[in-house]
């Protein structure tokens, strides 16, 4: 079983369902973990993106719970303004 741990930007775009340009933008923003291929001391233009970071990016982010307003909170301000 051969499971890829890294993919190229075009493959990442297909996984996410967006354009390759958006993948590069997400890489620049630090939302997708990536590395450059280095051969003989020279960095090539090919980037490899971690499949794990793509899965983290696609996972739903739970929203923080919203607190209900406390009763009487606004009433105290209104009373002070009318005096």
The model's pLDDT over 20-64, given as tens digits with 9 standing for 90+, comes to 999 999 888 888 888 888 887 777 777 899 999 988 888 887 777
The residues spanned by each domain of the chain are: 1-59
DSSP classification of residue 62: P
For the whole prediction, is pTM greater than 0.75?
A: no
23-35 pLDDT, tens digit each: 999 888 888 888 8
Alpha-carbon distances of 35 from 47, 66, 80, rounded to whole Å: 6, 38, 60
Strand blocks (E) in the chain = 6-7, 34-39, 42-50
């Amino acid at each position: 079983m051969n499971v890829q741990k890294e993919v190229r930007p075009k493959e990442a775009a297909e996984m996410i369902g967006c354009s390759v340009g958006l993948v590069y933008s997400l890489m620049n923003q630090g939302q997708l973990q990536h590395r450059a291929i280095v051969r003989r001391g020279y960095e090539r233009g090919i980037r490899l993106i971690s499949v794990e970071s793509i899965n983290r990016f696609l996972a739903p982010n739970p929203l923080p719970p919203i607190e209900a307003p406390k009763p009487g909170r606004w009433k105290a301000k209104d009373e002070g303004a009318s005096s």
